[in-house]
Amino acid sequence: MLIRHKRASDALSSEITSHSTFLNRRELLRSAVATGVIAGMSPFILSSPVGAVSQKLPNVVKTEWTEQALGENEALTPYKHVTSYNNFYEFGTGKGDPAKNAHMLKPKPWTVVVDGQVENPGRYDFDDLILGNELEERVYRFRCVEAWSMVIPWVGIPLAKIIKRLSPRSNARYVAFETLVDVEQMPGQRLMTLKWPYREGLRIDEAMHPLTLMAIGLYGESMPNQNGAPIRLVVPWKYGFKSIKSIVRISFTEEMPPTSWNMSAPQEYGFYSNVNPLVHHPRWSQAKERRLGGPTNIFGFTPKRPTLMFNGYEEEVASIYQGMDLIRNY
């Protein structure tokens, strides 16, 4: 019998809103809409992303990252926080703006341009990139640079599978990503909060790491618009802004690619942006974090918890940074 030893990266079962609870709520909402029980609700509520994203993803395979999540009790991260508290400046700078405005995004049809130092460049349809790959459910901690965190059951495929199929050339040392630019679908892009398109990048070994996921859903269903539909990156040991959303371009480069927050404020946001409790943001500490949706104290606040090195994935990823000065290369 295989005995699994818990690691720091193992999320706890109670840190996850259960699938059954989530799906039962969604089925109840569908039934209510179908029978007219909530016919008096406003059109916006019925057409909002929370109500619209309801396509169950077929044949999702459980992985060790879900099984290892079963454990002791701890604070939950409710589904409502995952889908209503977001940083997605393409829809606005407020935490609730993505959920309010993302219904404008049209995730179908969707194509992704692949270019650069790669043997199989081209414009790939979303289904061409994903179909033929086994969809996996992975429960990961998600740590924002703003010192709040969640635990999310993502659905997707390892990015390494896509990269191997695209066959990068030997001189491809980095993978760069870009988000859609369309002010009609993404009204926040009318503001020059950042220089659009949103850009991110990884070293090729980071992109090929088994933990790095190309996600197309969460909670067993297709990705909500406000969370990065239809396809986004998830790199669980890095701060959340590295997990770029609504990807339309993947480029293989020899040189380190520019990344949006590093371009905007290089003294605050580095290329690597690994979760590190010892490297603080110039304006706040990274030593602790607040788990959204967790139990509150008598004052109504969620107590802070210590931030884990590499967000708790040190055992899995520390070796790829061996010998690197993690303070200088923040």
pLDDT tens, residue by residue, 5-16: 445 455 544 444
pLDDT at 50: 41
Helices (H), 48-125: 49-52, 64-67, 79-84, 97-101
| Per-residue model confidence (pLDDT) at position 296 | 81
Mean pLDDT of 214-231: 96
Interatomic CA distance for residues 141 and 149, integer angstroms: 7
Percent of the chain surpassing pLDDT 90: 73
pTM (predicted TM-score): 0.85
The string of pLDDT tens digits covering residues 83-101 is 999 999 999 999 999 999 9
Are 128 and 250 in contact, with CB atoms under 8 Å apart? no
Of 304 and 27, more confident: 304
Residue by residue, DSSP assigns 253-286 as ESSPPP-HHHHH-TTT--SS-B--TTS-BTTB--
- Alpha-carbon distance 71 to 55, whole Å? 29
| Average pLDDT score over the chain | 85
For the residues 150-174, what does the mean pLDDT come to? Answer: 97
Establish if 39 belongs to a structural domain: yes
- Rounded Cα gap, residues 132 and 134, in angstroms: 7
CATH code of residue 289: 3.90.420.10
Kindly state whether residue 5 falls inside one of the protein's structural domains: no
In a domain, 327, yes or no: no
- Sequence-distant (6+) residues with CB within 8 A of 175 are 163, 168, 201, 202, 203, 204, 207, 250, 251, 252, 253
Q: What is the mean pLDDT of residues 128-155?
A: 93
Give the Cα separation of 139 and 68 in Å (integer).
9
Residue the block writes with tokens 């990266």: 9
Based on the structure, what is the number of domains in the chain?
1
Mapping DSSP to helix (H, G, I), strand (E, B) and coil, where does residue 31 land?
helix
- Domain span holding position 206: 13-321
Give the single-character DSSP code of 17: -
Residue 328 domain-assigned (yes or no) = no
In a domain, 162, yes or no: yes
Please compute, for residue 152, the number of CA atoms within 13 A of its CA located in the half-sphere on the CB side. 29
Contact 101, 188 (CB under 8 A): yes
Per-residue pLDDT for 301 more than 80? yes
Residue 45 lies in a domain: yes
Question: CA-CA distance, 250 to 75, in Å (whole number)?
Answer: 36
Q: Where are the alpha helices (DSSP H) in the chain?
A: 19-35, 43-47, 49-52, 64-67, 79-84, 97-101, 126-130, 159-166, 204-207, 260-264, 314-317
Q: Is residue 330 part of a domain?
A: no
**pLDDT of the residue at 10:** 53
pLDDT in tens, 269-295: 999 999 999 999 999 999 999 988 877
